[in-house]
A and B are shown apart, each in its own frame.
Chain A
Amino acid sequence: MPKISFRIEYQYKDERGILLPVALRYAGRESNFFARVDTGAAFCIFQRLHAETVGIVVETGAPMRISTVTGGFLAYAHRVALSVLGIDVEATVYFAEDPAMPRDVLGQTGWLDRLRIGLVHHDRWLYLSHYDDVTDDER
């Protein structure tokens, strides 16, 4: 039976989903916010304000139309550093053009694809390691 060890264990408590505290950094500036883990989301998508507070001019990024079950919206790609529960990644993320878009999502490209992740939702425990972390078997 395969075993995986993790660097971080985190008990989440919010019943509105798995909300994790995010530190987003760009050009020496930082924005802090909660983002929802969404294994079905193709990308990391954040509200426009979080780009503006670190000095990113949203429309200078590459545009992409993001589709959702309720419609779609335009977002722009930017390269940023994300730090979540002590695990740092550099990632291309998307900021919504529309300031009214109210959600922050940690999705597959740029976040989930950099991690090993374990979930025991019954007890609200999340386990995380960076994908490149040395495992117990490799020590």
Chain B
Amino acid sequence: MDVTLQPEIEKEVLDRVQSGEYSSTSELVNKAVRNFLESDHASSREPRYPDLRSFELAQDAPANLEWLNRNRAAYIGEWVALYKGRLIAHGKNGMDVFQAAQDQGINPPLMHRIIQEDPVFWGGW
């Protein structure tokens, strides 16, 4: 089996082996894959509990959509960061808007880019 590692991962692997932490690249890769598989099997056996955060998002969705429908025209071409139907930040650079919302203690905000809707209806992919 030939495996190609990304350059930064390969460098990390070689550094660890050269430091003596592992006797060979094979030992390190075997251990890493074993840990991954054990973790993956364990998580697949765990019962699924409802995700409260996504319920909260669903509860807030009508207020956020109402804000978007009411204010869309004023923010065409911008990203908006919303929280419980309130505008937290807006601007043309999405990352700046996200960080502005985080700076106000909203983490994460609901991020939405307002685009000019096509005059023809969206036909799907």
Contact = CB atoms under 8 A, between A and B. Distances in A.
Contact of B112 (A17, A34, A105): A34
Contacts, number: 95
A49 B109 contact: no
B111 interface: yes
Contact of B113 (A67, A83, A102): A102
A49 B98 CA distance: 9
Nearest to B40: A90
Interface of A: 10, 13-14, 16-17, 19-23, 29-34, 38, 40-42, 47, 49-50, 52-53, 60, 66-69, 83-88, 99, 102, 105, 107, 130
Given A21-B60, A53-B94, 12 more contacts: A14-B65, A14-B69, A19-B65, A21-B110, A31-B111, A32-B57, A32-B109, A41-B125, A67-B125, A69-B124, A88-B51, A105-B125
Minimum-distance CB pairs A-B, first 4: A83-B54, A49-B94, A21-B57, A83-B51
